Amino acid sequence: MADRLNGYRILILETREEAQFSRLLAEQGAQVLQCPMFVIHDAPDPAPVEAWLRRCIAQPFDDLVLMTGEGLRRLMKLAERLGIAQEAIAAVGKARTVARGPKPGKALREVGLAPSLTTETPTSEGVATLLAGLDLQGHRVGLQLYPDKDHAPLITAITALGADVDAVLPYVYDPQTAETNILTAIEQMANGQVDAIALTNANQVRRLIDAAHANGYDDKLRAALGRTKIASVGPAVSDELTAHGLRTDIYPANDAFFMKPLISAMASALAATPPRADT
């Protein structure tokens, strides 16, 4: 059903799939307010990433853990620039691939592959739990990391299973460029100009809170979120909200942690109230 969100103003903080999320919301009639939390760049020093790719090709990993779809896409783009894309895809295809949730699986399918295993929950803890049930003794495990996360506990957990971990960080965040936009978004929510904020990544919660704190907006952010419906795409986001004393108002049905189920959940939840009038 189209136009289920007609007239509603939805604030999104998505960075990696901003265009897709905006399009899906607009197809339902929503007015989309965009506030990307981060600007993403390739790793400033490509040499370690290239070396990791060449190790992967020369001796494919027994297991490859993909933490984000963005990470695999960045690796493949570097492989294309180096002229080794087909070799890299073939090497990845030889490994048992473990996807942290659906997004890495989507990135794998973009290069003609599919994940061997997908975690039940898209968290580092979910990855550790899944791997704990596998025999990794003597395995070489490739591990694609993402920024602003302490990955030491996961690496320790994998190593404790008898594996040799080879990690790579293919991209970095540049959060400062979004600071002004974040504060503007807080003002919009505080002024009642937003019907719902859609959160698709736990980092978005942390970044929102950190930016507010750095600029003396702590109370204003709490007040803003108090009058705005908070939509969470899944458990990682909701757990992060809870950790900061915040609530989840809208959550996808049937544990379907994707954008489309989140949009359907927003449409159902918001249908009970009219869109906010312009203020």
- The tens digit of pLDDT for each residue in 201-259 reads 888 899 899 999 999 999 999 999 999 999 999 999 999 999 999 999 999 987 777 78
Asked whether the whole model's pTM tops 0.75, one would answer no
Whether the per-residue pLDDT at 11 is higher than 60: the answer is: yes
Strand ranges in 134-222 using DSSP code E only, listed in sequence order:
140-144, 164-168, 171-174, 196-199
**Cα distance between residue 198 and residue 192, in whole Å:** 15
The token duo for 49 is 């990433």
Whether the per-residue pLDDT at 278 is higher than 70: the answer is: no
Q: Which domains does the chain have, with CATH numbers?
A: 9-40+175-270 (3.40.50.10090), 44-169 (3.40.50.10090)
Burial class (CB in 10 A: 0-12, 13-18, 19+), 254: exposed
Sort strands 171-174 and 39-42 into parallel, antiparallel or unpaired: antiparallel
Distances (CA, A) of 131 to 93, 98, 117, 122, 268: 19, 9, 10, 13, 37
Mean per-residue pLDDT for 117-127? Answer: 94
Mean per-residue pLDDT for 12-20? Answer: 75
Query: 5 with 266: CB under 8 angstroms?
Result: yes
**Cα distance between residue 99 and residue 108, in whole Å:** 9
**Cα distance between residue 190 and residue 100, in whole Å:** 34
Whether the per-residue pLDDT at 59 is higher than 80: the answer is: yes
* pLDDT for 212: 95
- The tens digit of pLDDT for each residue in 133-173 reads 999 999 999 999 999 889 999 999 999 999 999 999 999 98
* H-only helix segments in 95-176: 102-110, 124-132, 152-160
Who has greater pLDDT, 275 or 19? 275
The token duo for 136 is 């990794």
Whether the per-residue pLDDT at 4 is higher than 90: the answer is: no
The token duo for 109 is 């399918």
- The tens digit of pLDDT for each residue in 33-50 reads 988 877 789 999 999 999
* pLDDT for 160: 98
Whether the per-residue pLDDT at 276 is higher than 70: the answer is: yes
pLDDT band for position 2 (cuts 50, 70, 90): low
Q: What is the mean pLDDT of the chain?
A: 92
Mean per-residue pLDDT for 59-70? Answer: 97
